[in-house]
């Protein structure tokens, strides 16, 4: 149902997130592969190079700025300048609001992933980025053929999806959940997070825990955000199958992170439609 991302970022991957737009020097120190001038020497003549820095420059001209970058670690020193990387960008003027729409870029220059552009959302109160459901912007371009036009069109596809994301968010804020609906949402999220919900180290209602005062409330938007943050970021106390104390881990793999984020967004969207 969900298209897996082409990259997986494990624990310890170089990452930088800032409250202000990142400079090229800051980006280069964390993710030098973004600035690769050409593809890795292992690529054949059929490989079409999509320079990430050119896409970044183009989006900057449209008013978008990078606020988060990361790239995968590699033991191959000859691939460090070409390996998989991700950039999250948003309008610099949106930093004063409660949420901001983001363009998420994923690319590599060594053949390890396709070029991808996704629609995302960043909630400042919890500093936890989410990815919108599969009905919104998602563009994947392989490194072959005439890709320039596809990349440009992909940017417009993602930008066009922001209006729908905004409408969905505001509609969720207006929905007050009936008794028991929040627990149903949490139970479904627990099943999405763990293959066997009965053997999960935490209870479903723990996903409803508010980490800050701003998250308290019974509207669908705040309920969804509590569940999403607790499921993605981890840190909840429980017991494993052997009865030992266990702290849930954050979802580290970027493909798993996006898959879970999307599934939760779709779940919340369906609850919103039922309440309409």
| Tens-place pLDDT, residues 181-236 | 999 999 999 999 998 888 899 999 999 999 888 889 999 999 998 998 899 888 99
Token pair of 100 as six digits: 């901001």
Task: Indicate the SS3 state at residue 275.
Answer: helix
| Tens-place pLDDT, residues 71-107 | 877 666 666 667 788 898 887 666 656 677 888 888 8
**Rounded-to-integer distance, Cα 167 and Cα 39, Å:** 40
**Does 9 score more than 50 pLDDT?**
no
- When mean pLDDT is compared across 38-42, 68-72, 241-245, the lowest value belongs to 38-42
Q: What is the pTM of this model?
A: 0.71
**Rounded-to-integer distance, Cα 183 and Cα 202, Å:** 14
Distance of CA 25 to the CA centre of its chain: 24
DSSP 87-156: EEEEEGGGGGSSEEEEEEEEE-SSSSS-EEEEEEEEETTTTEEEE--TTS-EEEE-SSSS-HHHHHHHHH
């Amino acid at each position: 149902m969900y298209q897996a991302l082409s990259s997986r970022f494990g624990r310890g991957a170089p990452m930088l997130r800032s409250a202000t737009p990142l400079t090229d020097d800051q980006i280069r120190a964390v993710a030098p592969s973004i600035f690769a001038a050409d593809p890795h020497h292992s690529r054949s003549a059929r490989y079409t190079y999509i320079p990430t820095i050119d896409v970044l420059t183009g989006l900057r001209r449209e008013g978008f700025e990078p606020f988060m970058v990361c790239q995968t670690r590699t033991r191959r020193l000859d691939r460090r300048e070409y390996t998989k990387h991700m950039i999250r960008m948003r309008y610099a003027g949106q930093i004063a609001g409660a949420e901001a729409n983001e363009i998420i870029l994923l690319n590599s220059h060594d053949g390890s992933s396709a070029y991808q552009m996704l629609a995302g959302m960043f909630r400042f109160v919890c500093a936890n980025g989410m990815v919108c459901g599969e009905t919104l912007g998602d563009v994947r371009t392989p490194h072959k053929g005439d890709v320039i036009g596809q990349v440009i069109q992909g940017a417009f596809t993602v930008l066009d999806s922001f209006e729908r994301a905004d409408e969905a968010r505001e509609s969720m804020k207006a929905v007050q959940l009936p008794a028991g609906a929040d627990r149903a949402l949490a139970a479904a999220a627990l099943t999405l997070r763990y293959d066997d919900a009965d053997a999960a180290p935490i209870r479903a209602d723990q996903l409803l825990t508010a980490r800050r005062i701003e998250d308290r409330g019974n509207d669908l938007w705040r309920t969804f955000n509590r569940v999403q943050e607790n499921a993605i970021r981890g840190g909840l106390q429980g017991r494993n199958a052997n009865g030992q104390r266990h702290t849930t881990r954050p979802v580290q793999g970027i493909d798993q992170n996006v898959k879970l984020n999307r599934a939760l967004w779709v779940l919340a969207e369906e609850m919103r439609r039922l309440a309409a």
